Amino acid sequence: MTATTMTPPPATSRGRLRRMRETTPLTYFALILTVLTSIFPLWWMFVIATRTSSAASQWPPALLPGGRLLENIDRLFANTTANFTTGLINSLVASTTVSVSVVFFCSLAGFALAKLRFSGRTFFTVAVVVTMAVPVQVGIIPLLILMDWLGWRGQLQAVIVPFMVSGFGVFMMRQYVLQTIPDELMEAARIDGCSTFRIYWSIVLPALRPAMVVLGLLTFMQVWNEFIWAIAVLTPDNPTVQFSINQLNESAYSRDFALMFTGATFATLPLLIIFFVLGRQLVGRIMEGAIKA
Amino acid sequence: MTSLQRGAPPSARHADAPAKGPSRPQHRRRKDPGSRGRFLSSVDLKASPYLFIAPFFLLFGAFGLFPLLYTVWVSFHEWSLIGGNEGFIGLDNYVRLFSDAKFWNSLYNTLGIFVIAVIPQLLVALLLADTLNRAVRGKSFFQMTMILPYITSIAALAIVFSQLFGSEFGLINQALGYLGIDPINWRGEKYFSWGAIAFMIDWRWTGYNALIYLAAMQSVPKDVYEAASLDGASRMRQFFQITIPMLRPTIIFTVIISTIGQMQLFTEPAIFDTGGAMQGGTQGQFQTVMMLVFQEAFRYGNYGYGSAIAWVLFMLVVLLGLINVVMTSRIRSAT
């Protein structure tokens, strides 16, 4: 596996070694190109949101913001096809509710699987891992039939309740509890007469806080982004924000780019705020291998 | 507000089932509870673990597992939006599916887009990770901007890219025109439409994968590289003969994750396809399997037939997953 050849080390090996690790102008060229590619669509989305629709078709491309942002925002919120206000509120409510729920239920289950002794623990742990690989989106048709049975079609709870737990969340929490909560602490709390729920509430939850924040915000992002289920189960008069901007996108005859891009900007904004608050932690988590798609 | 209500039932349950109750006030921390206390604490020890994992398994069972399995049941029936369940028809839906050109087309599109998206994505991610693995200044800034696309709204960016890839006034065609290249019919031509969609996917995921690779690269012992350098192996040679082999498990992991995700590709092509018919272009140039499921079930109301397509897709994902796992264990046992 190693690339060791039998040639003797060259005399200048030390200097050569240092040179190998150094960066070249090409390194920075590649990195800056990546940065520009990552940022350009986002920046351009914002620029068009501040201009008229014709700016989206302009060459050379508009690169600086214009002065029409407020006017576009007014038009967006007044648009009757999009129901943007409802969409925004619905998405905020659904994403927040699901995040709180996922963090609570997953930390509860993760704690039990990591620290409590009960028969079937291994089985349940494996079951959680298996659920992570299941493409649940495939069950979309029976899920809709189920919503009809419950009378939830078109209702906001239809985009909340099905997402209230996540196998990934349970597994992530389990790993984190294993790393952070020593068994001795559990024993001591037991001897002091703490009930299991009290151990969870007063000892485990506070220690889990960093992982909970990351899981909560990832969940927020996922629910905020959810698209196929929202357009299947909701109606245009009670949409989520993604459904709402899709309504603007689908009205093909009068494609009002300024309006669409203003909507797109709003649909991205909460995620960008999360990114600026939490980006560094997220990078750390992904690099620990804690986060999967 | 809603969240508090939803959080309440389980905590209430735990409070009265296993709790210490009035017999043992919270401030009294003694080892010898009364017989009632001993009984309650043994109930607590036995029942709590199951109560704690119950919400996950009940909710997943109801809204994840049940719909998935029920898909098979629905697929064996003539089942429509208006008529409901109109009777058992055995494998008829599957027979129809295997002779349905639209199904094969959507499968071809899904696999095609997957391949042309995932190969450049993983290669560029590897190169980017290798670049960042040098003594780069401002490393954390580059890491942050690379992960930025992963954070953004998929639908919003699909709208932006749809305009960038516009046929007449799209920015990309205008740029090509500026360079003297004829405009490309990004929506009309099958393989160009795949390319546009693959670009949207790669824009989102390349940086994310690069970070995963970077993490793996950083765990490769430095002395392996030093030894190789001392032996005169070039940077390029080190990349192909040390980095890539050492990263193999990580690369396979990202391939598995991408496979599961990409087989269900929906949002990007659905938004690229203006009009909302889920047709995937005038001739279905970029209709994916998931779009076909959506079209059959929710545009035409064919729940039964849609379920058959969805179930075949599920089996395909499982099959590809198993192939990946077998390959992984082969590679593990080989090394």
Which amino acid is it at B145?
T
Chain A: closest CA distance from residue B35 (Å): 14
**What CA–CA distances, in Å, run from A199 to A112, A178, B8, B27?**
11, 15, 18, 15
Residues from chain B contacting residue A127 (CB–CB below 8 Å): 57
Please report the pLDDT score of residue B293 as a whole number: 96
**Tokens for B124?**
């560029």
Do B32 and B130 belong to one domain? no
Question: pLDDT tens digits, residue range B311-323?
Answer: 999 999 989 888 8
Is residue B12 located within the same domain as residue B146?
Answer: no
pLDDT digits 0-9 by tens, A90-111: 999 999 999 999 999 999 999 9
Kindly provide the b/e burial profile for residues B288-326, where b requires at least 16 CB atoms within 10 angstroms of the residue's own CB: bbbbbbbbbbbeeebbbbbbbbbbbbbebbeebbeebee
Q: For residue A139, give the nearest of B68, B128, B263 by CB distance.
A: B68
Residue B256 maps to a domain:
yes
Q: Is B306 part of a structural domain of the chain?
A: yes
Q: Which of B127, B154, B274 is closest, CB to CB, to A252?
A: B274
Length of chain A: 293
- Are A246 and B275 within 8 A, CB to CB? no
Query: Does B208 share its domain with B330?
Result: yes
Q: Domain map of chain A by residue range?
A: 89-225+271-287
Which residues are bridge partners to B77 per DSSP? B88
Answer whether residue B277 is part of any domain.
yes
Chain B residue at shortest CA distance from A107? B52
Q: How far is A73 from chain B (nearest CA, A)?
A: 16
ipTM summary value: 0.86
Indicate if B175 and B58 belong to the same structural domain.
no
State the pLDDT at residue B33. 54
Q: Are residues B165 and B207 in the same domain?
A: yes
Give me the residue from A124, A221, A250 closest to B275, CB to CB: A250
Helix/strand/coil for B87 = strand
Q: Could you write out the DSSP letters of every residue in B72-92?
A: HHHHTEEEETTTEEEEE-TTH
Average pLDDT value for chain A: 86
Q: Among residues B167, B283, B192, which one has the least CA distance to residue A255?
A: B167
- The residue among B60, B75, B90 that closes a domain is B75
Question: Looking at per-residue confidence, does A12 or B152 come out higher?
Answer: B152
Question: Which of A12-16, A143-147, B251-255, B286-290 has the least mean pLDDT?
Answer: A12-16
- The CA–CA distances, whole Å, from A217 to A177, A289, B151 equal 19, 17, 10
The percent of residues above 90 in pLDDT, for chain B, comes to: 50
Task: Please tell me the least confidently modeled range out of A206-210, B102-106, B113-117, B224-228.
Answer: B224-228
Residues B142, A31: C-beta atoms closer than 8 Å: yes
Question: Would B301 be classed as within a structural domain?
Answer: yes
- The distance of A80 to chain B (nearest Cα, Å) reads 18
Q: Are residues B53 and B148 in the same domain?
A: no
Does residue B1 register a pLDDT over 90? no
Contact A280, A126 (CB under 8 A): no
Q: Do residues B48 and B120 both lie within one domain? A: no
Which residue in chain B is spatially nearest to A47 when comparing CA positions?
A: B160
What token pair was written down for A6?
């039998």
Same domain, B13 and B155: no
**Which CATH number fits the domain that encloses residue B218?**
1.10.3720.10
Residue of chain B minimizing CA distance to A219: B151
Rounded mean pLDDT, B119-145: 89
CB-closest option in A7, A41, A271 to B232: A7
What's the gap in Å between the CA of B189 and the closest CA on chain A? 20
What's the pTM value of the predicted model, to 2 decimals? 0.86
Tell if the CB–CB gap between A221 and B151 is shorter than 8 Å. Answer: yes
CA angle B269, A132, B51 (to 5 degrees): 135
From the options 3.30.420.40, 1.10.3720.10, 3.40.50.150, 3.30.450.40, give the CATH code of A89-225+271-287: 1.10.3720.10
Token pair, residue A59, equals: 């060459």
Band of the pLDDT at A56, cuts 50, 70, 90? confident
Which residue matches tokens 């079930």? B297
**pLDDT of res. A252:** 58
> What mean pLDDT is predicted for residues B221-244?
84
Q: Do both B233 and B324 map to the same domain?
A: yes
Q: Indicate the pLDDT class of residue A253, thresholds 50, 70 and 90.
A: low
Q: Round to whole Å and give the CA distance between B319 and B325.
A: 10
Measured over the CA atoms of residue A12, residue A15, residue A17 and residue A19, the dihedral's sign is negative
Q: Report the number of distinct structural domains present in chain B.
A: 2
Q: Give the residue from chain A lying closest to B165, CA to CA.
A: A57
Place of tokens 């905590």: B11
Choose the final residue of a domain: B40, B75, B110.
B75
For residue range B153-171, what is the model confidence (pLDDT) as tens digits? 999 999 999 999 988 888 9
Where in the sequence is the domain holding B53, given as residue range(s)?
Answer: 2-75
Q: CB–CB of B147 and A286 under 8 A?
A: yes
- Do residues B163 and A257 lie in contact, with contact meaning Cβ atoms separated by under 8 Å? yes
At residue B88, φ and ψ (nearest 5 deg) are -75, 130
Smallest Cα distance from A223 to chain B, Å: 10
pLDDT, position A142 = 94
